[in-house]
Structure 1
Amino acid sequence: MSAHSVPAPLPCPAAIRLHCAGPLEAVVVAALQRACFPEDPWDDASVATLTAPPTGFAVIALDGQEQPVGFAMARVTAEDAEILAIGVLPQARRGGIGRCLVEAVAAGSHGRGATALFLEVAEDNQEAWTLYKVCGFFSVGRRPGYYRRRDGRVAALVLRRNLDGA
C-alpha cells in the first residue's frame, strides 16, 4: 500500500483504489464534485480550503485505469466529524464505491479523534439515504428548504453515525 492509499474497513470493489487527497488535489476533487453535482458546483479554491489539514481531508476513488470516479471531503472538529460532500460519477454508481468512500471517511475521522460523523442528505435523494442507512447513519434532524432545485427547494435530513461503538 502506498503512502497515499487509505485502508477501508470493508472491502472496496476489486478495481477501486482509494487515495488520500489534500489541497494539492483540489482541482481533481472539484472537477469530480462538479461532475456529480452540476447544479451546485464548488470552485478549486473552496475545495482546497476545505481539505486543508489539520481539520480537513479528502479521499478520491480511482478505478482500475487510475482514473478518478468518486470523492469524499470531510472535516473533523474535536469529537465531531462531518462529510462535506461525497459523490460518485454517474457511470460508476451502484457498484459499492459510495459505501467504500463513506467507510474510508469514517475510519479517517475516527483516526483523527472523532466519535460521531454527521452529514446532510436531500430528503428526496432516496438512493443516498439508503446508502447512509446501510452505513449505520440515522436521522437526527431536518433543515427545511436547505437544497435548491430547479422547481423549488427541498429539506435536508441531518444524519449521524456513531464512531465510538455507542
Structure 2
Amino acid sequence: MNFWLSPGTLHIEPAQGSDAETIARLHAEGFYRGWTREEFAAYVAGKDTPIYVACDSRRRIAGFAMLRHLGDEVELISIAVDRKWRNKGVGAQLMRALFEAVRMSPAKRMLLEVAADNLSALKLYGKFGFAKVGERKGYYPRPDGTPATAIVMARDIG
C-alpha cells in the first residue's frame, strides 16, 4: 500500500522492522516518555498494531502513525512528525492514509487520546471529524511533575 503525498514527494507505506529505531527517535522527540526501539519493533511485527511511515524515495522517515485494532474499533495510538517536516501537511496525510487503511476493516469507530494542551493535534483531529467523548485528568506525566489531562476523542469510520 502506497499513498503518495505532496508537497515534498513523500509517500506512506507500512513500517518495516528496520524502521523501529527512527520511529522510536521521533516518538521520543514528541512525547515525554518515548517508547524503545524494541517496543516499536514488536509493534511493527504485530498484526493488530500496524505502523505507517511517511518517507521520501530514499526511505528517510518524516513521520509515522500507529494503530491498534480492537474488534469494531480502532485506536490511533501515536502519531509523530519529524520537526523539520512539521506544518507541511504530513500529519494530515498520515491521517488520510489511516482512514484508507481501515476502510475495509471491521472497525466502525476510531478513538484516540491527546493531551489537552496539544493545540496543534486537537486542531488536526478536529479537521478530521473527531469529537471529544471524555477526558482523563492527570493521565500524561510531564517533566515538571505536573500531569496533563488527556482528551478522549472519537469519530465514526465510514
TM-score (norm 2): 0.88
In the alignment, does 2:21 pair up with 1:21?
A: no
1:14: Cα distance to partner?
4.8
Which residue matches 1:77? 70
Note the 1:1-166 alignment, pairs <5 A: 5-7=1-3, 12-37=6-31, 39-63=32-56, 66-151=59-144, 152-164=146-158
In the alignment, the residues of structure 2 paired with residue 159 and residue 12 of structure 1 have an alpha-carbon distance, to the nearest angstrom, of 27
SS in structure 2 opposite 1:111? coil
Shift of 1:24: 4.7
Alignment RMSD (CA, Å):
1.9
User: Structure 1, residues 43-89: CA drift from partner, whole Å, max 9, x if none?
Assistant: 12211223334211011111365421101111112111011110101
Which amino acid in 2 is paired with 1:128?
A
Q: Residue 76 of structure 1 aligns to which amino acid in structure 2?
A: H
Cα shift readout 1:130-149 (whole Å, capped 9, x = no counterpart): 01000111111100001112
1:84-108 CA distances to partner (integer Å, 9 max, x unpaired)? 1101012211111001111111221
What amino acid maps onto 2:142 in structure 1?
Answer: R
Q: Secondary structure at the match of 2:40?
A: helix
TM-score normalized with structure 1 length: 0.85
Letter in 1 for 2:64: F
Could you list the runs of 5+ residues in structure 2 that have no partner in the other structure? none
